[in-house]
Amino acid sequence: DAGVTQSPTHLIKTRGQQVTLRCSPISGHKSVSWYQQVLGQGPQFIFQYYEKEERGRGNFPDRFSARQFPNYSSELNVNALLLGDSALYLCASSFTQGFAEAFFGQGTRLTVV
Amino acid sequence: EDKVVQSPLSLVVHEGDTVTLNCSYEVTNFRSLLWYKQEKKAPTFLFMLTSSGIEKKSGRLSSILDKKELFSILNITATQTGDSAIYLCAVVWNNDMRFGAGTRLTVKP
């Protein structure tokens, strides 16, 4: 079985641009969560979706948005990129709602220049 | 303010040593505490703890939670070079989750 897959693996964007990151959960998993990990820090929770509905949101500005599709894959959108948005963006999936035993993807490394 | 603090921030040991990693937290409406190992990018799940005093074990790794004193420890016995990684603690409350900054463990041959 494939694990959590994220695309793209690396991305370079210019300040002010918009970016869309994609995540495919493990087959059968209905929950997807997004995290931002800045170098030297632990991941920060951004969103959680379960059954296509937002079930949790971290302390991030409205420039960050996400959605979950009927096949449980998910997209994270970030508008009006800032230099400080440069980070590793991690997606995790789990079978149930909540954060128990989540499986992480390899992440998307976003660099904003 | 809700927070999760891990200590030490980094640790260097030799193969065979035993290490104890600490995670303390201050959150309202605590639900669970999770430990992850991050070697390159994707953190891998180690343990989920919800009840005080019940030790969870997996091979040379074990963990326990103290909900009265608001901390958890992760023990690794007979360390190996493959244990070198960042160990992350995360606390879940309501519909939010917060990670600590992690402990970087280096195991030397």
Residue pLDDT tens, chain A, 113 long: 579 999 999 999 999 999 999 999 999 999 999 999 998 899 999 999 999 999 989 989 999 999 999 999 999 999 999 999 999 999 999 988 877 778 999 999 999 99
As beta bridge partners, residue B91 has B33, B98
Return the number of other C-beta atoms located less than 10 Å from residue B27's C-beta. 19
Put simply, the answer to whether A107 touches B44 (Cβ < 8 Å) is no
**Phi, psi angles (nearest 5°) of residue A50:** -140, 130
Total domain count for chain A? 1
Provide the residue range defining the domain that includes A46: 5-106
Token pair, residue A82, equals: 């800032």
Q: Measured at the alpha carbon of residue B91, what is the angle toward residues B5 and A9, in degrees to the nearest 5?
A: 95
3-class DSSP state of A105: coil
Taking CB atoms and an 8 Å cutoff, what residues of chain B touch A33? 97
Give the CATH number for residue A32.
Answer: 2.60.40.10
Token pair, residue A33, equals: 């969560």
Pairing of strands B10-14, B103-108: parallel
Residues 17-46 of A with CB under 8 A from B: 33, 35, 40-45
> Is A102 part of any domain?
yes
Q: How far is A42 from chain B (nearest CA, A)?
A: 4
> Is A112 part of any domain?
no
Q: How far is B37 from chain A (nearest CA, A)?
A: 11
Whether the CB of B95 is below 8 Å from some CB of chain A: the reply is yes
pLDDT digits (tens, 9 = 90+) for A6-37: 999 999 999 999 999 999 999 999 999 999 99
Q: Choose from B40, B45, B49, B92 for mutation: most chain A CBs within 10 A.
A: B45
**Please, which residues have CB within 8 angstroms of residue A13's CB and are 6 or more apart in sequence?**
A19, A81, A110, A111, A112, A113
**Please, which residues have CB within 8 angstroms of residue B96's CB and are 6 or more apart in sequence?**
A45, A56, A57, A58, B2
SS3 per-residue string spanning B31-56: EEEEEEEECCCCCEEEEEECCCCCCE
> Is A111 part of any domain?
no
Q: Show the domains of chain B with their CATH numbers.
A: 3-108 (2.60.40.10)
Q: Tell me what pLDDT residue B1 has.
A: 66
Whether the CB of A99 is below 8 Å from some CB of chain B: the reply is yes
